[in-house]
Structures are given as C-alpha cells and as structure tokens.
C-alpha cells in the first residue's frame, strides 16, 4: 500500500504543478515557523492573518507564510479566499447601500429583501420547506429553532395559539425538554449548551436544563467489515431514544423536539447510517416531537450534496434545518406549522444581515456555474483514498479514516501525537484542525481540487514519517 501511495503522489504532484484556479496559488510557501515573529499568541489565537494576500485555498499569515488551508475558518469559507466573483460583487456601487446599512430586519426590512431571500436561501431550501428565518450565527439559529419547537408543541397541546391568562402569568414557562445526543455540539448559548456534549470545558461552571441525552452510535471501521455490529449499535441507540422520550414524559418534562447533526463534527466526526436517521425521524413522528437537523457545519456542499441530510434519501427529512458557516448567514428553515404564531416571539435586533444574503446569492451562482458539488465528490474520493493508504502505511499512528465528500476525518493514536502532527503540518504549510478526543478533521473550501489533495497527502506523509 505504501509503495502505491508514494508513486501515486509523485505522479500527481508532477502532473499538476500549475494551478487550475485563477485566484489560487500553486502551493504552500513557508518563511518562518507559525506563529512567526509578527504574530502575537494570545489565548485562543493561533496566529494573525493577512487576508488581503490570501487566495483560493491558501491562507497567508502576517509573516508571509502561505498555507494550504484545510480547516477554512472552522469550515466556514465556501469558495475560497478573495474569490473574484465576490470581489466584483463588493465593488459594485449598486450594492453600497446594502453593505453600509444594517437594518433591524424583523421590523424594517429593505424593499428587495424577499427577492434576495428567494435568490439565495430559498433557492437551496431543504425538501418540504418553503420558509426560512434568518439569524446572525449558528448558536442563535439553534436557540431560536428550539423556541420555535417549544411554541409549536404548546400550541399543539392547546389546540390553538391563544395563551390563557394563566399561561401569561409569570413565570409561564412549561416543563418541556429537547432530546440531544452524547458527542453533540449545537452552540455555546444557554439553550444550545444544554444540548452540547462534546467537551467538558464548554459547559464548565454553566447551569444546564434537565433534558434527556441519548447515546450516538459508535461505529466500527471499516464499515463493510462490521455491518452487523454497527446495525446492532444503531438499534441500541434508537431503543434508548424511545426509552428516554417515555421516561421524560413520565417525569412531566415531555420531549418537544429532537436535535441531531447529520455528522457530529466538533464531537469527533461521528457518522451514522441513513437507516439510523430515517428511523430516528420516524420515532420523532410517532411520539409527536419536532425533528431538528443541525446543518450548521455540514450544510453548504462539503459532503458532496448541498445538505448532508440529502444522503438519507427522504422526502420529509426534518421539521427544522438550521444553518450558518458556509452559508455566510445564520438561520433555520422550517415547515409552515413551525412559523412563530405572533410577532416578536422569534426576534432580535438584526435577525441576520442582508449583505451576507447578497454574498450568498453569488456563492450559489459560482457553485452552480463551476459544478462545485461534483468537484467535492471527486476530490473527496481522492482524499479518503489517500487517507486509507496512509492508514495502511502508518497503522500505529492512524485509524478510522472516514468521510463523506471532503468532510473527512482520521483518528490519531493519542492527543499528544495529534497536537504534534497538527503543528508540524502547519510549519510545512498545511493548516488542519482537530475534533473529538484525538481526530483530525478536514474542512476544505468547495474549490479544493484533486491536486490540492495530493499536495496535502505529500506533506502529511512527510510529517507522519517523522513520527513513525
């Protein structure tokens, strides 16, 4: 395996020394270690960046180091740095008003806002959803989606949407819950944190709601060798979900909604089968719970489909789908019945940003024009096959290579080795990120091509050879 891998990489590297993307560089270029002398290392900051000089798949730091970015601002850069189509859009004087004025969208939206939503977010709406609520970020998208589920559930209980005088008395807060999964990450605001279970530090010192937490399947790899065991594991988790729904109803805190990521990202790139999600959707329907699919990290095309839940092959995949990151604005799609019943119930000052919808419409044009979802599928196959080869070559270091499209990950033998690999890769010009206890996650932009994969694989191979 290792011999084949080396030949493959040498051949591809020689065949593609020249970039095929106008606004991209032809490879990494490192002048110092990272962070260099001009970067200040403060708290969570990795290094300071020169965004003017960054292009395509390459991020440049203040010391002039040019790195192949396979982390892309925590998976939030859709079509690379400084894409010409977006620069052109920003330089159009007709767009100045949208860029300069940020309205309170909930009460004073601009004249063209409905048309801009139709051009952007509604043009990629998930199956069965014709409504979208914009928000500023992933956490506030989920936070307000939870509120929408609670409001929907209570109106369903009442049989109408007119609260009684008793309901309106302080505190007027019903004992309801949302079921989430171990390993999940849904955000850092209070309601979201109650459903986030990826790292203890996120929740340290912060009170939380008494809401049910179900096990997420722990699949064994390679999948084809463990199909029976994985099916049993998924069945166990689904059974536990039903048990928890019944238990919390008996506790007087019925489950109004279930929230889940199509791939648990921050929690370690944990996958489950389409059958698991289809069964979970059925359980939600059976027990009268709203089904919320959190696509904040998986949405926008990096799994090879615009929404990761499309891989499940369902006509009615969810009641609510939240998004942010690659869609540049936050928000959630929802069915008609989850529309807020009165003004100001789902509300804040900005409720999104029209300038981001403007950019998103152009991003979607580029995705369609350049067939970027097909590119993601192609480069994703090259990436996962390369990871399989490296895993065979370095079995003491690497395991459990997995992914969908370019949304890939691989496990490292331990956290210390992972940290060392991430730093060495960065000093050789490849920017990567970790997730879970010991995984490395791959989150390139949609303009990441085959030859970028092989530039990465060559450098990653060099780094791993130092740890052998």
Q: Which residues are catalytic?
A: 185, 294, 325, 349
Rg (CA), the chain: 23
- Give the strand pairing for 177-181 and 131-135: unpaired
Tell me the β-bridge partners of 334: 131, 320
Sign of the Cα pseudo-torsion (196, 197, 199, 205, in order)? positive
């Amino acid at each position: 395996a290792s011999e084949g891998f080396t030949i493959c990489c040498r051949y591809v590297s020689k065949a593609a020394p020249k970039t095929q993307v106008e606004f991209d560089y032809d490879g990494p270029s490192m002048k110092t270690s990272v962070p260099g002398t001009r970067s200040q290392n403060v708290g969570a900051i990795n290094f300071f960046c020169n965004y003017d000089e960054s292009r395509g798949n390459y991020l440049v730091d203040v010391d002039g180091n040019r790195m192949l970015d396979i982390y892309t601002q925590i998976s939030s850069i859709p079509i690379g740095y400084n894409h010409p189509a977006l620069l052109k859009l920003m330089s159009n004087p007709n767009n100045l008003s949208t860029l300069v004025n940020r309205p309170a969208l909930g009460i004073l939206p601009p004249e063209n806002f409905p048309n801009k939503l139709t051009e952007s977010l509604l043009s990629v709406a998930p199956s069965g959803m014709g409504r979208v609520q914009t928000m500023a970020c992933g956490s506030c998208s989920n936070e307000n989606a939870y509120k929408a589920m609670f409001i929907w559930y209570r109106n369903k209980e009442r049989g109408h949407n007119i609260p009684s005088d008793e309901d309106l008395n302080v505190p007027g807060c019903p004992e309801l819950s949302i079921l989430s999964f171990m390993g999940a990450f849904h955000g850092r605001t209070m309601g979201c944190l109650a459903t986030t279970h990826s790292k203890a530090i996120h929740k340290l010192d912060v009170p939380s709601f008494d809401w049910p937490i179900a096990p997420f399947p722990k699949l064994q790899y390679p999948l084809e060798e463990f199909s029976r065991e994985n099916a049993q594991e998924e069945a166990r988790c689904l059974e536990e979900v039903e048990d928890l729904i019944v238990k919390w109803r008996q506790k007087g805190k019925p489950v109004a909604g279930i929230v889940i990521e199509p791939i648990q990202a921050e929690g370690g790139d944990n996958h489950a089968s389409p059958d698991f999600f289809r069964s979970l959707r059925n359980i939600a329907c059976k027990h009268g719970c709203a089904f919320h699919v959190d696509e904040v990290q998986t949405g926008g095309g990096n799994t090879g489909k615009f929404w990761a839940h499309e891989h499940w092959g369902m006509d009615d995949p969810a009641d609510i789908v939240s998004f942010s990151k690659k869609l540049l604005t936050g928000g959630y799609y929802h069915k008609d019945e989850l529309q807020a019943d009165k003004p100001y119930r789902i509300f804040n000052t900005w409720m999104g940003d029209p300038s981001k919808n403007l950019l998103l419409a152009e991003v979607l044009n580029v995705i369609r024009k350049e067939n970027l979802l097909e590119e993601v599928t192609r480069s994703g196959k090259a990436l996962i096959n390369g990871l399989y080869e490296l895993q065979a070559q370095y079995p003491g270091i690497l395991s459990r290579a997995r992914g969908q499209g370019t949304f890939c990950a691989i496990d490292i033998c331990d956290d210390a080795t992972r940290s060392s690999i991430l730093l060495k890769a960065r000093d050789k010009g490849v920017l990567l990120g970790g997730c879970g206890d010991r995984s490395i996650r791959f989150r390139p932009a949609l303009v990441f091509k085959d030859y970028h994969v092989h530039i990465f694989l060559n450098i990653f191979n060099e780094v791993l050879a130092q740890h052998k």
